[in-house]
Amino acid sequence: MRGKQLGHWGRAIAAALGVGLAAGVAAAQPARSAPAGTPPAATPPAAPPPAETPLAESLTGMARAEHGAGAALFDDGDYAGALARYERAYELSRDHRLLWKVALCQKNLRRYAKMIATLRRMEAEAGAALSARDKQDIADLIKAAGAFVSFLEITSSEPGAAVFVDDEPVGTTPLAAPVPIDIGERRIRVSKPGFVDFVRQEKVVGGDSVALVARLDRAVHRGRLAIAAGQDDLIAIDGKVVGKGRWEGSVQSGTHALRVTAPGMTPHEAQILVRDDERRRIDVSLERAAQRGGASKWLWIGGGAAIFAGALVAGSLLFEPGTPAEQGSLGTVPLGFGGRR
């Protein structure tokens, strides 16, 4: 932007950090005197900068309302509330002037790493809208905040892994540039699906760099399964015989088909779920299968009854026509077999 309002906010942040901007330092230097006899150079009149509409007036709708609420909260010392309102106003308007105020709130909250990220974001998004003075202000502010942050460099064995600082995402490997992180105890995590997370707890001091090599190992989802059965029982896992009597081994996490068999015994079949890093023990006791002789006995009884009934019918046919059959407790079953009276 044309430097007026941005410079104001930039100098406000720098003053709060306790440092002077390069422009202020340069202005404090004594001017060199011209050699004697040199006529003064003619200075063309500078064109006045075009008038700029103040931010509070150029915003409209909800963006203007959020900005007003942010200003009121800031004046009241509620920097966290003001930060939320300014960020919302920026989302609605995309007016990069709001990022100065976002950065000032972050400074007051001692979130210096985020402040640097905000300033870099403004520099990238505003582009040509920033004056040379604005760009110098941003550079000076980032330099001034360097005493309160360190810069994280991650070398990862896997590209495309997400990098988190205190569980907040800060980039993806390979990082485009070192990431500013605040001083103090920081939890750094590098994560990618299918791999075991790389996690480090680092004590960060200001004005330094933190370089980490994150080696990501592939995640192995396995557990252990132990089967105890009879001495001669065959044990099969997922259709493959793995042992006799007892077996224990590593299996992939998930559901597995167990089958235990032995001659003359009823097979035992079950679906076994094994979780990551779990040891699952299964005890199996087979039961004897039903005897085939019992079934043949009933078949013999049934066949004998049929033969018996056939004999009764055959016997009744030996009577001459008109000869009545003797009645008994069996009703229509004749009690006399053959023979005449």
DSSP state of 328: B
DSSP state of 44: P
- Label residue 137 by pLDDT band (50, 70, 90): confident
pLDDT at 53: 79
57, 58, 59, 49: which is closest to 132 by C-alpha?
A: 49
Residues 106 and 19 both lie in one domain: yes
Tens of pLDDT, residue by residue over 170-198, are: 999 999 889 999 999 999 999 999 999 99
Residue 104 lies in a domain: yes
Tell which of 99, 124, 147 closes a domain. 147
Lowest mean pLDDT across 53-67, 100-114, 281-295: 281-295
DSSP state of 148: G
pLDDT at 129: 84
**CATH code (residue 270):** 2.60.40.1120
Expressed as residue numbers, the domain containing 164 is 149-214
Token duo for residue 162: 């997400």
Residue 335 CB partners (closer than 8 Å, separation 6+): 325, 326, 327, 328
- Label residue 25 by pLDDT band (50, 70, 90): very low
Tell which of 214, 233, 262 closes a domain. 214
Check pLDDT > 90 for residue 295.
no
- Report how far apart, in Å, the C-alpha atoms of 83 and of each of 104, 117, 122, 269 are: 9, 14, 15, 63
Answer with the residue of higher pLDDT: 264 or 340: 264
Residues 9 and 110 both lie in one domain: yes
Residues 84 and 101 both lie in one domain: yes
Tell which of 101, 129, 147 closes a domain. 147
203-206 own/partner pairs: CB under 8 Å, 24+ apart? 204/149, 204/150, 205/150, 206/146, 206/147, 206/148, 206/149, 206/150
C-alpha–C-alpha distance, residues 292 and 11, integer Å: 99
pLDDT at 60: 92
pLDDT at 131: 86
